[in-house]
Amino acid sequence: MPSRILVIDEIPTTRMLVSSLLSANQHEVTAECSVSEAVANGDLLDFDVILFSINGGDAAEMTASIVKAAASSAAAVPPPIICLDRNATPERRLAALTSGARDLLSAPVSDNLLLARLRSIYREINGVREVIRRQAAAATFGLAEAATTFRPAERVALVSAETEPRPEFDELVSAFGTQFSRHSPEEAVSGLEGASPADVFVLDSRSLPRARLLGTLPELRSRTHSRHAPILVLHNPDDADAAILALDSGATDVTSDNASGPELVLRVKALLRQKAAEDALRRSSETSLRLAATDPLTGLYNRRYAKAYLNDAIKTATEGAQPFTLMIADIDHFKKINDVHGHSAGDAVLRTVADRLREGLRSVDLVARYGGEEFLIVLPGTDATRADAAANRLCAKIGNSPIGLDNGAFIHVTVSIGAAVGGNGAMPSDLQTYVTSAPEPVVNRLLCAADHALYNAKAAGRNRIEVALNPV
């Protein structure tokens, strides 16, 4: 999806260079010379991200001015603001963050670092948008927003190879007390038996060789106890490549390892708020939508909710010219499982397959029981290449481990998947206009395309994937 970025810089050459870089990387860019000009020319909330150059002024005062302008618009979630500062210091970075900026980067910033930072921001934005989308879907059922649940004390884990913590971490100890703990990379990855999982990890790369750091990040992202926890990586301020690699390897946020204690506390608290929102998203199926929108056997969303969600997902993808993927997964030879092992075994297989599908998807994806032994999967922002990789991952997750039955027996189960990939500007303009006002026929065409691809997967031998490109 082409993101919309507002660049505010009083220096014309800098404005032009940054705009050219972003445009060359498929972003929609609007450039203004001042905050007042940006406000006069349009709503700041038309943008996904604001890049704001401080250019030596007072970091707190100038950041506060753009934050105030963005917050004054009528949106629940103002766009995140990244400040660019030619006089960046840890103190000025702290002042900008305290005033409401998402980050402050030293200018001139590395092209690759800026793009990597933007990618991490978009991942965060997509999570927030998904919360809003599911709340809207709940509203179509006449359901109120779920009540706020009790949140236990948040746990922060410092991952470091040093035996003695640096003074900068004293602020984290003071802020989180007994909920702050220190671990080696090996302890963080394996998880401590009997201990509650951490809500945020802080990786101190000063004590970790780059290879070890980049090995720890994806491992934390893949483990059950840490896969949903935000990760803050502290890197050498002179090593932009380490920050880029960290962001693209699973880090949620990065900052220089010369950051002050108050800055670390600010960043960790921001990550805890982000995790709370993502946790609320994952709990949505267990709260306001549980009775009206879930399947009682598997706990997944039901067909009714999936159709309402898919209508909105297609409209959003069409309006933003972003790709999306619709999948139908079908359990192979399911009738034989019922005939040989009984219907209770069939129910156990359905529940286990549902659990494995849910575990194998992102929090922004949707999986629903579509009917019988079929499951509907919606992957926003996913093109054909990523759809194929995701489908193969799901097939392997289900087929590589046998499923245990109540009588102690184990059976191997596989699934076939048909996928329909659309969006990304592939629809004719007249159809795009039609979709925004009447998406139901397009939903049916997508479902037919995915179903036809599933039929081809079954005919080709089962336990495989077939993808239909641009079916609408």
Q: Which of 154-168, 287-301, 427-441, 444-458 has the lowest mean pLDDT?
A: 427-441
Q: Is the pLDDT of residue 435 over 50?
A: no
Q: What percent of the chain has pLDDT over 70?
A: 84
CATH assignment of the domain containing 373: 3.30.70.270
Looking only at the bridges linking them, the beta strands covering 253-256 and 81-85 are unpaired
pLDDT at 195: 64
Residue 140 forms part of a structural domain:
no
Inter-residue contact 313 to 324 (CB < 8 Å): yes
**265 and 309 in a common domain:** no
**382 and 244 in a common domain:** no
| Mean pLDDT rounded to a whole number for the chain | 83
Q: Look at residues 243, 263, 285 and tell me which one is the last residue of a structural domain.
A: 285
Q: Is the pLDDT of residue 437 over 70?
A: no
> What is 152-175 written as a DSSP string?
PPP-EEEE-S-SS--GGGHHHHHH
Residue 116 forms part of a structural domain:
no
pLDDT at 428: 39
Residue 227 forms part of a structural domain:
yes
152-161: pLDDT as tens digits: 668 999 998 8
**164 and 100 in a common domain:** no
217-242: pLDDT as tens digits: 888 888 888 888 999 999 888 888 88
CA distance 264 to 255: 9
What is the phi/psi pair of residue 422, to 5°? -145, -170
CA distance 367 to 125: 21
300-324: pLDDT as tens digits: 989 888 888 888 888 777 776 778 8
**308 and 264 in a common domain:** no
pLDDT at 82: 93
What total of structural domains would you count in the chain? 3
**269 and 212 in a common domain:** yes
The residue among 92, 104, 42 whose CA lies nearest residue 70 is 42
CA distance 278 to 194: 24
pLDDT at 139: 64
Greater pLDDT, 322 or 192: 322
CA 266 to chain centre: 21
Count of beta carbons in the 10 Å neighbourhood of residue 153: 10
What domain range includes position 251? 156-285
30 contacts: CB under 8 Å, gap ≥ 6: 4, 5, 6, 7, 42, 47
pLDDT at 472: 55
254-268: pLDDT as tens digits: 999 889 999 999 999
Q: Is the pLDDT of residue 282 over 60?
A: yes
Residue 131 forms part of a structural domain:
no
**17 and 46 in a common domain:** yes
Q: Is 350 exposed, middle or buried (0-12, 13-18, 19+ CB in 10 A)?
A: buried
Q: Is the pLDDT of residue 432 over 60?
A: no
**165 and 92 in a common domain:** no
Measured between alpha carbons, how far is residue 298 from residues 292, 339, 355, 418, 435 in Å? 14, 20, 8, 21, 31
Greater pLDDT, 443 or 165: 443
> What confidence tier does 135 reach under pLDDT thresholds 50, 70, 90?
low
Residue 122 forms part of a structural domain:
no
**353 and 454 in a common domain:** yes
Looking only at the bridges linking them, the beta strands covering 253-256 and 200-204 are unpaired
Greater pLDDT, 135 or 333: 333
**91 and 173 in a common domain:** no
> What confidence tier does 151 reach under pLDDT thresholds 50, 70, 90?
low
Q: Is the pLDDT of residue 424 over 70?
A: no
**162 and 264 in a common domain:** yes
Greater pLDDT, 378 or 445: 378
> What confidence tier does 329 reach under pLDDT thresholds 50, 70, 90?
very high
CATH assignment of the domain containing 210: 3.40.50.2300
Please give the helix or strand (H or E) that residue 38 lies within, else none.
helix 35-41
**76 and 195 in a common domain:** no
Residue 31 forms part of a structural domain:
yes
Inter-residue contact 81 to 63 (CB < 8 Å): yes
